[in-house]
Structure 1
Amino acid sequence: MQSRRSILLKSQNLLRGISGQYEVVLVILLITIIFMIILPLPTWLVDFFIGCNIGLVLLILVIVFYLKSPSDLSTLPSLLLFATVFRLAISISTTRLILSEADAGEIILAFGNFVVGGSIIIGMVVFLIITIVQFIVITKGSERVAEVSARFALDSLPGKQLSIDSDLRAGEIDIEEAKRRRTKLRVENDFYGAMDGAMKFVKGDAIAGIIIIAVNLIGGMGVGVAQNGMALGDAVQIYSVLTVGDGLVSQVPALIMAIGTGIAITRIAKSDEDEDVNLGSDIIYELAGSGRELAIAGFAMVLFALVPGFPPITFLSLAALFGLAAYAVSRRSRQDVDMTSLEEGTKVDYQVPTIIRLEVAQSLLKTLNAEKLSENLGGIRARLYAEIGIPFPEVSVLQISDGKKDNWKLVIEGVKAVSGNFPLEKVNVIDAVQDLEATALEFETMKFRSVELKWVERSQTEALTDLGLDFQDMEDVICKFVEKELPSYAEEIIGVEEASKLLDVMEKRYQTLVTAVRKIAPPEQLTLILRPLVAEKVPLTNFRIVMEAILEWGPKESDPSALSEFVRIALARQISDQYANEDHKIPAYILDPEAEVLLRDALMHNSLGSFLTLTAEQSQVMIENVSAAIGNVDENEPVLITAMDIRQHMRKFLKNNGFDFPVLSHKEIHSDIEIFPLGIINAS
């Protein structure tokens, strides 16, 4: 018992050693092929190698049937090379046996007798037909497909790489998915390029088979008559059977390999999500997917049965087969429809509502160019990201019914942000009204959100172009107001998902920095830090500075609002540039130091945070002083400068009382920028 167990353990260890050294197995196979070419082999060993050859090509054929994508069998070009060399080594060994011993083993003899069947001419014709089918039909077609596939794969490579990079930048895929797609793309291109060359092996194999059979037949008869003293008729009989058998033993596996290769490279890849897809299921589904085609084919078989001289039983049998198949497919389709209807009737589709939605009435949507509208909305997201620094979510377009007051509206978080009722089949002229009045074109004007729109019939666009007048299509007009409105809702839009996406985008360039920030401020904490910044229109385009500030102050300060203030200080250069004029000066009002003391004393702190507790009289005086000061500003919006510790509280106080203008702290003014005082705001 102990000896059996030890033998079993040794066997398992040997198998593990072999399985872990696959390259050693391949080297042994190559050395074996070389010895097959050089050394004479006994007939039983040749029979064994012929059986291995047949088994190998059948295995490859079966594997090819279950491929989802041609590149899933990326080693196929190498397999073709190994199989071709192995098959040629067998042919050399059998040729040596035929010429030297007039005996090439039992398999070749059985093949020859079975195919020749008493007639040498029949055997030669069968062999030639198999070779012609392989060489002209299958191999030639597969070679052309491989050549075209390799060319197309190479031409489409830059576009596919750009698509992967674009999806990664947009946050639609993560880094790991991008790496997986790039690897798959590289494998596909290498595969098709290698197959373009590997098909030459298959083509050369077919040509070599024709030459080898001629050598065996002519050389065999010469050896039989000249050396072995055979009669010419006997030599022809013996060597023709062996030659045809040898040719078929070589060409039948080569034909199977060519078929498998043709199937692999002509296979159209399905989606990666289709796990159970294979060639057989695809063909059956696409040929028998509808009962109508099967019924028409069955009717055609009935007509063929009526043709004089055609065997009616054969065609009627086929007609019955097609008819039964059509009935079965139609019945299955009805059951699927009934089951789908039942499932739809009992299923509730819980869809996650989109954050930003553009609802367009059916009548207006029909006149819009869907591709251009989608492209414009995507461009808005890209521009807002470049200007504000936060990734806006996708704007979905939803068709709504006609008959409502407005034929389009922008909905953010389920609430209408902006809407309008624009005329159909019109374009908006950008040039002044006076320019339009100077022409003979009819137009109508419309005031919409302080913008004057001048509508002209879409059919007049050529005339507008000839007159040199610029105009906007309806898609551009709607998207113009969408882009104008979205920044106002940036504070509501930025959430945990957007904060996480920001980190993912920055991780491509600042991996170490992002890793450190994630530990200090995870996405939910980062969201609380960014929202006040976005609310006050602080640009986050230099997000590296934001992360470094969080990394510096995060371990010392846990309050998100306080961290926002430290980030503002780090962004002093950007904030100062935002409000400075051409002379590098910021025209601003300064909060009186006594007012700062008053606000500081009025601060109340509790578990919910800190807030001002000014009396009604104090608040009224402050509001009147602010109103009196900003009433003197004619052009640009005023800027108020105060101390850092009360800046955000002063900002909230002003906003709650109807004043929505920037409030900066002294520490946010960069050293390169000067303050140009417009006045002092007092608290008394």
Structure 2
Amino acid sequence: MRPRDLSVLLGVILIVVMLIIPLPPGILDFLIIINISLALIIILVAMSTNDSLQFSIFPTLLLLVTLFRLGLNVSTTRSILGNAEAGNVIDTFGNYVVGGNALVGFVVFLILIIIQFVVITKGAERVSEVGARFTLDAMPGKQMSIDADLNAGMISDAEAKGRRERIEKEADFYGAMDGASKFVKGDAIAGIVIVIINMIFGLVIGMMQMGMDLGTAATTYTLLTVGDGLVSQIPALLISTATGIIVTRAASDGNLSQDLTKQLFAFPKMLYVAAGTIFLLGVATPIDKFVTFTVAALLAFGAFQLSRIEKGSVEEEETEETEEEKDDMKSPESVVSLLQIDPIEFEFGYGLIPLADANQGGDLLDRVVMIRRQMALELGMIVPVIRIRDNIQLQPNEYTIKIKGNEVAKGDLLLDHYMAMSPGVEDESIVGVDTVEPAFGLPALWIGEEMKEQAELSGYTVVDPPSVVSTHLTEVIKRHAHELLGRQETKQLVEHLQETYPALVEEVTPNTLSTGEVQKVLTNLLKENISIRNLPIIFETLADYGQMTKDMDLLTEYVRQSLSRQISRQFTTPGEPLYVITLSGSVEKKVADGVQQTEHGNFLSMDPNVSQQILESAAGEADRLQGMGQVPVILCSPAVRMYVRQLLERYLPHVPVLSYNELEANVEVQSVGVVNAE
């Protein structure tokens, strides 16, 4: 154990010893001086801190110091009543400080008690109580503010975590101060009781046990008691003041001394007013003119000096700002900072500001947080921070979604309406403004509040504007997830996996596959809406086949087959068969024959007419299956799956292409269509 830690433990043990074992006057003198020194150190530290949390140990320290002082009171009381002495320090305070006059000393002691108990302790207790309550009440708002700044990209995840921890520490600190201030109040009451006990029982012991007369006993024990009270209450007063300073500290960049000098003398003209007032007081009243004129002169001189300093500071700041502006204009960094492109941007017209303004009831920021969590669960990727801003160049009710600086989606909202989507059978009594649901392109209506209940009874799907936006944003992120997963994001996922599967990660990267190659496999999966959350299985497959081939498309096929259980669950409904569109034997053969092998990988090269026939047949079968109310899925052999996907992805991007090896054996498959090329 370090000496510093050991000294704290020994100090606590010493407090217990003082409560049990009588101490000689010499040791009491030493401990009393230590008590006064501790009180001075505490109040000086409290005045020097910029923030209350810099002295977060103060509540606990307050309890220990209070216990130490009470232990001293027990020891000095035992010495005063038992031996009619308590050491040189107490004797000095009883005789020298109050001039040997017991009555004067008692009055001074009572004044200290009143100041500490009635003014400082009561005030600090109240401020601690109010501070604790206000801090706890403000926690939800502060947390939401942090989430809003995080979603807006103003702070990083690490900064958000640090600010949340700070809020928790503030709540703990002020809660602890609320309780610790009660000990200070109890200590003041105990001081009064101890003095009364010492005086009363001192007279009794002096007269009955030591044979003193009443005057001698009163003088002896009153002076000792007053001396004891003073050496005890002066440190107590300092610590009570430190408590008040700590709990009344407002947000500031400086300590108490800096704030006092900076803010108290922030207006030099007021010092001139004060100087004039003191000067007139000396002229118009019998007060000693030397005193008033001297003070007035000092105030006027101070005001003059502060005015000069303030004027010089303003000129210097203006000069520095001008130079900084010139340097910024010349600096290449001023241009480099403009090159930053946000991964995801959501911009809206001024009419949609209430959507994002929490003060107007908007909850878009909270919904964005939920979208990021949803994407982490569904796709297994960390969606970058979504930059939300208003754009006066847009129409008032218009919004756009950008991916890496390019607009990929847009829409219009009517904030005081609801979007109603027909169940398939139109109800002519439902009237509204014709529109299109932006996420899936379905026809819809904007209806008013009065029409909402009727539309719901008619089977319409009715959603509010924030839900429309969040659904659209979610679908856009899913559709472009492969574009958002770069090497940096891939490295972050790999580092997270390494915490639990270090051996697996070391086998795959960086020796077998680079981060860029792993990213290629993950983006291939995301491009076809396959979740990469199950990274352990993905890396197991990469470890098995990564040394056999460097063709990332082929590695992706091996990974897809390893994820067969996940893919089966994704495209099938429990208890129902999987309705699929298969490829005819001739189509599969033509696709296989059209594969060209090069040193840079394999690609599909087919006759344009054949490709057109396959596309038209696949599109027709997909439309027919959608008309039956089924989700179209194309099923083919593993050898040609990725080439069929390459052929169809530009024209049928939302139609999944699966291979037989990607389905579990217990999945019931029913073919409801065949793609031909004839």
TM-score, L = length of structure 1: 0.76
Deviations 1:331-360 (A, max 9, x none): 535643553454244331715321111223
Contact 2:135 2:171 in 1 (8 A): yes
Contact 2:18 2:75 in 1 (8 A): no
Q: Distance in 2 between matches of 1:87 and 1:318?
A: 42
Q: Distance in 2 between matches of 1:419 and 1:678?
A: 36
1:568 corresponds to 2:560: yes
Q: Which one of the candidate residues 646, 649, 665 is aligned to 2:643?
A: 649
1:243 to 1:455, Cα distance in 2 relative to 1, 3 A: same
Quote how far apart the aligned CAs of 1:50 are: 1.7
Contact 2:397 2:413 in 1 (8 A): no
1:97 to 1:641, Cα distance in 2 relative to 1, 3 A: closer
Q: Distance in 2 between matches of 1:405 and 1:166?
A: 23
Deviations 1:87-128 (A, max 9, x none): 334334444554566554433333234442365433222211
Contact 2:507 2:543 in 1 (8 A): no
Q: Distance in 2 between matches of 1:471 and 1:303?
A: 73
Contact 1:168 1:175 in 2 (8 A): no
Q: Which one of the candidate residues 234, 238, 262 is aligned to 1:256?
A: 238
Match for residue 116 of structure 1? 98
1:86 corresponds to 2:68: yes
1:24 to 1:143, Cα distance in 2 relative to 1, 3 A: same
1:668 corresponds to 2:668: no
AA at the equivalent of 1:110:
T
AA at the equivalent of 2:365:
S
Match for residue 623 of structure 1? 612
Q: Which one of the candidate residues 598, 604, 611 is aligned to 1:605?
A: 598
1:38 corresponds to 2:26: no
- Residue range with higher mean Cα deviation, 571-580 or 193-202: 193-202
Quote how far apart the aligned CAs of 1:38 are: 2.8
Match for residue 14 of structure 1? none
Contact 2:413 2:465 in 1 (8 A): no
AA at the equivalent of 1:430:
A
Q: Distance in 1 between matches of 2:486 and 2:302?
A: 62
Q: Which one of the candidate residues 506, 517, 526 is aligned to 2:518?
A: 526
Contact 1:623 1:657 in 2 (8 A): no
Match for residue 590 of structure 1? 583
Match for residue 331 of structure 2? none
Contact 1:174 1:504 in 2 (8 A): no
Contact 2:617 2:676 in 1 (8 A): no
Q: Which one of the candidate residues 373, 381, 386 is aligned to 1:395?
A: 386
Q: Distance in 2 between matches of 1:64 and 1:317?
A: 30
Quote how far apart the aligned CAs of 1:491 are: 1.8
Contact 1:168 1:174 in 2 (8 A): yes
1:491 corresponds to 2:495: no
1:591 to 1:310, Cα distance in 2 relative to 1, 3 A: farther
AA at the equivalent of 2:420:
I
Q: Distance in 2 between matches of 1:531 and 1:103?
A: 86
- Residue range with higher mean Cα deviation, 96-105 or 563-572: 96-105
Match for residue 357 of structure 2? 370
Q: Distance in 1 between matches of 2:194 and 2:230?
A: 11
Contact 1:630 1:638 in 2 (8 A): no
Q: Distance in 1 between matches of 2:7 and 2:298?
A: 56
Match for residue 228 of structure 2? 246
Contact 2:271 2:303 in 1 (8 A): yes
Quote how far apart the aligned CAs of 1:199 are: 3.9
AA at the equivalent of 2:582:
Y
Name the SS of the counterpart of 1:644 in structure 2. Answer: coil
AA at the equivalent of 1:662:
P
1:114 to 1:559, Cα distance in 2 relative to 1, 3 A: farther
1:167 to 1:668, Cα distance in 2 relative to 1, 3 A: farther
For this pair of structures, how many residues does the alignment match? Answer: 642
Q: Which one of the candidate residues 101, 113, 133 is aligned to 1:131?
A: 113
Q: Distance in 2 between matches of 1:187 and 1:454?
A: 50
- Residue range with higher mean Cα deviation, 406-415 or 129-138: 406-415
Q: Distance in 1 between matches of 2:617 and 2:204?
A: 122
Name the SS of the counterpart of 2:382 in structure 1. Answer: coil
Quote how far apart the aligned CAs of 1:569 are: 0.7
Q: Distance in 2 between matches of 1:228 and 1:331?
A: 73
Q: Distance in 1 between matches of 2:151 and 2:435?
A: 39
Q: Distance in 2 between matches of 1:355 and 1:631?
A: 36
Contact 2:344 2:385 in 1 (8 A): yes
Contact 1:503 1:514 in 2 (8 A): no
Quote how far apart the aligned CAs of 1:517 are: 3.2
Match for residue 416 of structure 1? 407
Name the SS of the counterpart of 2:602 in structure 1. Answer: strand
1:671 to 1:295, Cα distance in 2 relative to 1, 3 A: farther
AA at the equivalent of 1:560:
M
Contact 1:104 1:242 in 2 (8 A): yes
Quote how far apart the aligned CAs of 1:269 are: 7.3
Match for residue 381 of structure 1? 372
Contact 1:378 1:394 in 2 (8 A): no
Q: Distance in 2 between matches of 1:565 and 1:668?
A: 9
1:48 to 1:406, Cα distance in 2 relative to 1, 3 A: closer
Contact 2:588 2:640 in 1 (8 A): no
Contact 2:42 2:242 in 1 (8 A): yes
Quote how far apart the aligned CAs of 1:588 are: 1.6
1:341 to 1:163, Cα distance in 2 relative to 1, 3 A: closer
Match for residue 10 of structure 1? none
Name the SS of the counterpart of 1:631 in structure 2. Answer: helix
Deviations 1:408-429 (A, max 9, x none): 3222111121235x48775354
- Alpha carbon RMSD of aligned pairs, Å? 4.9
Q: Distance in 2 between matches of 1:613 and 1:196?
A: 77
Name the SS of the counterpart of 1:604 in structure 2. Answer: strand
1:654 to 1:475, Cα distance in 2 relative to 1, 3 A: closer
Quote how far apart the aligned CAs of 1:251 are: 0.8
Quote how far apart the aligned CAs of 1:45 are: 3.3
Q: Distance in 2 between matches of 1:165 and 1:360?
A: 20
Q: Which one of the candidate residues 317, 323, 332 is aligned to 1:336?
A: 317
Contact 2:353 2:390 in 1 (8 A): no
Contact 2:59 2:173 in 1 (8 A): yes
1:88 to 1:644, Cα distance in 2 relative to 1, 3 A: same
1:56 to 1:546, Cα distance in 2 relative to 1, 3 A: same
Q: Distance in 2 between matches of 1:624 and 1:463?
A: 51
1:59 to 1:576, Cα distance in 2 relative to 1, 3 A: same
Q: Distance in 2 between matches of 1:599 and 1:256?
A: 90
Name the SS of the counterpart of 2:579 in structure 1. Answer: strand
AA at the equivalent of 1:609:
G
Quote how far apart the aligned CAs of 1:533 are: 1.0
AA at the equivalent of 1:673:
V
Match for residue 512 of structure 1? 500
Matching of residues 157-236 of structure 1 within 5 Å: 195=177, 197-220=179-202, 233=215, 236=218
Q: Distance in 2 between matches of 1:479 and 1:498?
A: 23
**Structure 1 residue runs without a partner (length 5+):** 1-16
Deviations 1:568-606 (A, max 9, x none): 112223334444477413322225278447635743130
Q: Distance in 2 between matches of 1:224 and 1:385?
A: 81
TM-score, L = length of structure 2: 0.77
Q: Distance in 2 between matches of 1:309 and 1:212?
A: 46
1:104 to 1:412, Cα distance in 2 relative to 1, 3 A: same
Name the SS of the counterpart of 1:673 in structure 2. Answer: coil
**Structure 2 residue runs without a partner (length 5+):** 329-333
Deviations 1:628-661 (A, max 9, x none): 4543441337544333243223322344677774
AA at the equivalent of 1:213:
V
Quote how far apart the aligned CAs of 1:263 are: 3.1
